Chain A
Amino acid sequence: MAKDRNSTVVFWVFLTPVLFAFVMVIIIPFLLGVFYSFTDWSSSAGSGAGLKFVGLANFVQSFTDPAFIYSFIVTFIYTGINVIVLNVVALALALIVTSRLKFRNIYRVGFFVPNLIGGLILGYIWQFIFNNAIPALGGIFANPDNLVLSKSATSVAALVIVGTWQYAGYIMMIYIAAIESVPQELYEAAKIDGAVGFQRFIRITVPMIAQAFTITMFLTLVTSFKQFDVNVSLTAGGPSTMFMGKPIFATQLLALHIYDTAFAANHLAMAQARAVIFFLVLVIISTLQVRANKKREIEA
């Protein structure tokens, strides 16, 4: 009996601090956040006083706002391209550093280094490269009209380049771990059967690392969709362009759009409603992705 009481005491002593932080930092703000999205919440209002319930007004208005629709579209485009480019580059890098090259360990570390540095700082580095270093190459690059960050399409491409450069080394590490765990006998057997390099890659490596694809796809999808730091420091949403007859920011991804709706436009309740939409979409696409990959994993 005494021992049981002791267990209970330790249970609560060990669990309470974490549970307390969880409720204070995650649960309460999350519930408040969902609640606020149905109100006219503003920065001047406290967390209860003087709030008016407005139903779905914030959501309806969001879907008629060209800036939000555009931000949604550009986020999907960015995410789609980034997931593909990132995984292709990461897999290629992983194949390179797992082959019998002399300096493979140094390459491995080199490709990984950008990942150590925060997206904010990486964005500034590349802003310098796109705005100053590349024009200094002269020729067509020197023409101010050809600045990478001055046009919508190339700005999105710039975000993909930096996003890939930052994250490919990390995804590469996951592919390396998967590739190195493929039994060597399989390759030897394939060799005897006369399979050459590319066939071996498609028939053995790809199916054997299917589980890694589930992880890398999930990670790249979610991080691309949530991209914020690089967006802030590289383009800050610019350049401006027109959409549905209204001037909007050409590279304002959703996370930045939500932030700007709250602080630049000062529509807190509206930003909160868009964050709720962002959350729902994120849940849906990540569930769909994991399900699709799991299915392929089993088939393979």
Chain B
Amino acid sequence: MKQKRSAATLVLEALALILFLAYLIPFALILVNSSKDAFAVTANPMALPKDPGLIFKNMVSIWTNNNIAYPSSFLSSIIITVLSVVVLNLLCSQAAWVLVRTKTKFSQLVFLMFVGAMVIPFQIIMFPLLSWFREVTAITGIGLLRTRFGMIFAYLGFGLSLTVFMFHGFIKAIPYELEEAATIDGNGKFGVFYRIVFPLLSPIHATVIVLNGMWIWNDYLLPLLVLGKGNRVQTIPLAVANFAGAYVKQWDLMLTAIVMAIIPIIVLFLAAQRYIIKGIVAGSIK
């Protein structure tokens, strides 16, 4: 009996290992092929590179290529992602708190509208959003299209439903007595929120940062519409897509660009793996 079980375990172990390797082969392939020159990539993508150091040369040529503008795209991606995430966390936790603690018909209605809006697909909003942003810019002079500010504002709009919803659920579980005690101690409303409630929210802040951060960093369609192709301000997915359009079959450089787009995410993931997996599971179950 024992013998049989360990044999089955062994088979499962081997199966898992094969699956695991098969799962990661695509990454190995692009890594191998971004260490080759254009000819070697097309000649035989399966061969190992003759000079693995070539990847650094390819990376330098991506870094300095004006078409992909990697340094400035990278910077824009970071600025847009970080600021959007910060704004979403600050504003949505505040809003969720007053919505939970103010028990009126109005606050219920607002919350229901936020949640209900989650079913609206992006496709129905995207074209009118562009003409509406153009109009707003024409009237107010505030640049919403082709600017980082417009991107961040749009991400606040598209991200707030889920973010408010998640903070709302978490805040509901915080005992109100805590806030009453803080009020008696002489705290105003701002004090109660920033001294008492805000620090208690850190687990949900972490979850929300992970969910929104990954979404915004990888997003392609919204930047494509708001920033536009070939704009001075580009995010990394946009830059890679642009580059793919311009250098259709130059796979050596294309794959290097892909590797360079992936590296920051993998590094961040390995650094904060625990939070990321927890955050993602928590986000899906909500």
Interface residues, chain A, with chain B CB atoms under 8 Å away:
6-7, 9-11, 14-15, 17-19, 21-22, 24-30, 32-34, 36, 43, 46-47, 93, 96-97, 99-104, 106-107, 109-121, 124-126, 128-129, 132-133, 136-137, 165, 170, 173-174, 176-177, 215, 219, 226, 228-229, 232-233, 254-255, 258-259, 262, 268, 271-272, 275-276, 278-279, 282-283, 286
Q: B239-267: which residues lie under 8 A (CB-CB) from chain A?
A: 240-241, 244, 251, 254-255, 258, 261-262, 265-266
Q: A15-B98, A229-B220 are in contact. Are A121 and B280 (CB under 8 A)?
A: no
Contact residues in B for A106 (Cβ distance below 8 Å): 20
Contact residues in B for A33 (Cβ distance below 8 Å): 124-125, 127-128
Contact residues in B for A104 (Cβ distance below 8 Å): 16
Contact A21 B123 (CB under 8 A): no
Closest residue of chain B to A171 (Cβ to Cβ) is B284
Q: In the complex, what distance in Å separates the CA atom of A72 from the CA atom of B188?
A: 56
Q: A101-B16, A124-B244, A125-B258 are in contact. Are A22 and B29 (CB under 8 A)?
A: no
Contact B128 A132 (CB under 8 A): no
Q: In the complex, what distance in Å separates the CA atom of A203 from the CA atom of B17?
A: 28
Q: Provide the main secondary structure of the chain B interface.
A: helix
Contact B98 A11 (CB under 8 A): yes
Of B52-60, B66-74, B151-159, B200-208, the one with at least 4 CB within 8 A of chain A: B151-159
Contact residues in A for B97 (Cβ distance below 8 Å): 14
Q: In the complex, what distance in Å separates the CA atom of A243 from the CA atom of B84?
A: 44
**6 A-B pairs, CB-CB below 8 angstroms?**
A10-B193, A43-B131, A101-B16, A114-B23, A125-B26, A228-B220
B170 within 8 A of partner (CB): no
CB distance from A294 to the nearest CB of B (A): 16
Interface residues, chain B, with chain A CB atoms under 8 Å away:
9, 12-13, 15-17, 19-20, 23-24, 26-27, 29-30, 33, 41-42, 44-46, 91-92, 94-95, 97-99, 102, 107, 110, 113-114, 117, 119-129, 131-132, 135-136, 153-154, 156-158, 160-161, 164, 188-190, 193, 214, 217-221, 237, 240-241, 244, 251, 254-255, 258, 261-262, 265-266, 269, 273, 276-277, 280-281, 284-285
B258's partner among A10, A124, A255 (CB-CB below 8 A) is: A124
